Amino acid sequence: MSNAPMLRMTIPLEVGIGCRDLAVMQQFYQHTLGLQFISEARVPVQVAQDYRLARGSATVIRLQTSYGERIKLIAPDEAPAPPSEHAAYVFDQPNVMYLTFIIGDVKAAMARLREAGVSFMTGTEPVQSRPGLYVAFLRDPEGNIIELVQYDDVAAYRPDLQ
């Protein structure tokens, strides 16, 4: 068996997030979190069905992080109903997935986000999970979970990027 990676990436990772209210989600990710707008595109009905993306057409907005990853906000024209409530703990819900943003100063980011009306699942201060590692969890306007992480020594965490 070969040691070559099965998925040899050619560009930074992209993540798709299904949305009910595309305008609200774009406002949050672009203006509150500061991602850069890249493009907006319509996905016709037949293409959406062929992809198994949606039963009808959809709109995709691409945003980019300062590191080059992209987030695709995808809103089908017939959006599903929102959940009745969100779980208190990340893994209390089935099939949970969340975005992790590794940043330089979690405490400062939390302060700016609180000024923008964001509340945190983890409280008002970052949680120190071990020396030099600080974490905060929050939800976007539709309840998707976002993790903010600060490593005092990011080079030790990701020496492959140095």
Q: For each of the domains in the chain, give its residue range(s) and CATH number, in order of start.
A: 14-76 (3.10.180.10), 90-161 (3.10.180.10)
Amino acid letter, residue 117: G
Over residues 111-140, the mean pLDDT reads 95
Q: What is the pLDDT of residues 77-95, one digit of tens each?
A: 987 777 778 888 887 877 7
SS3 per residue for the chain: CCCCCCCCCCCCCEEEEECCCHHHHHHHHHHHCCCEEEEEEEECHHHHHHHCCCCCCEEEEEEECCCCCEEEEEEECCCCCCCCCCCCCHHHCCCCCEEEEECCCHHHHHHHHHHCCCCECCCCCCEEEECCEEEEEEECCCCCEEEEEEECCHHHHCHHHC
Residue 146 pLDDT class (50, 70, 90 cuts): very high
Which of 1-5, 32-36, 120-124 comes out lowest in average pLDDT?
A: 1-5
Over residues 53-74, the mean pLDDT reads 94
Q: What is the pLDDT of residues 10-28, one digit of tens each?
A: 788 999 999 999 999 999 9
* 38 vs 7 pLDDT, higher one: 38
Amino acid letter, residue 127: V
What is the reported pLDDT for 105?
96
What is the reported pLDDT for 40?
98
The structure's pTM equals 0.86
Is a pLDDT exceeding 70 seen at residue 1? no
Structure token digits, residue 146: 């976002």
Report yes or no: 142 and 152 within 8 Å, Cβ to Cβ: no
